[in-house]
């Protein structure tokens, strides 16, 4: 069974382009949505994402919607705790494919990391 994990040097989730996420209002509160939209920078990338180092500049203080955790996903997406792994993995794969491509180095690295859990 694959277990979700965040993979270094990816950053696909840091591309916050609202055009790619038309359902934001379905899972973010009004306050969260306002914060989310304020974080969208050049070409849709989060203003706190360092594209050179591929790291979050506010990682320890990042908003709840940036934290991929069972409880957060249960509240935001109304999924059962035991569906978290499958749901989170699918979200990551879809976003990595949309940002970098299905045969990208990022996708290969992500899949390799899941296989080596």
- Stated pTM of the model: 0.88
More confident residue, 114 or 30: 30
Digit-coded pLDDT (tens) for 47-68: 999 999 999 999 999 999 999 9
What percent of the chain clears pLDDT 70, i.e. is strictly above it? 99
Both structure tokens of 92? 């990551």
pLDDT at 33 over 90: yes
pLDDT at 81 over 70: yes
Q: Please report, for the chain, the start and end positions of each structural domain, with discontinuous segments joined by +.
A: 11-67, 68-117
The H or E element that residue 49 is part of is strand 49-50
The per-residue pLDDT for 92 is 95
Confidence band for 13, pLDDT divided at 50, 70 and 90: very high
From residue 42, alpha-carbon distances to 6, 17, 23, 77 in Å are: 23, 9, 21, 27
For residue 102, the SS3 value is: coil
CB 40 within 8 Å of CB 51: no
Q: What is the DSSP letter of 56?
A: E
């Amino acid at each position: 069974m694959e277990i979700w994990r965040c993979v270094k040097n990816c950053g696909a989730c840091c591309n916050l382009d609202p055009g790619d996420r038309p359902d934001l209002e379905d899972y973010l509160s009004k306050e969260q949505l306002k914060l989310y939209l304020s974080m969208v920078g050049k070409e849709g990338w989060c203003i706190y994402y360092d594209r050179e180092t591929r790291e979050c500049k506010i990682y320890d203080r990042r908003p709840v919607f940036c934290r991929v955790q069972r409880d957060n996903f249960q509240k935001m997406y109304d999924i059962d705790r035991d569906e978290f792994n499958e749901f989170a993995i699918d979200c990551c794969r879809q976003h990595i494919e949309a940002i970098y491509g299905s045969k990208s180095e990022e996708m290969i690295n992500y899949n390799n990391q899941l296989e080596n859990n």
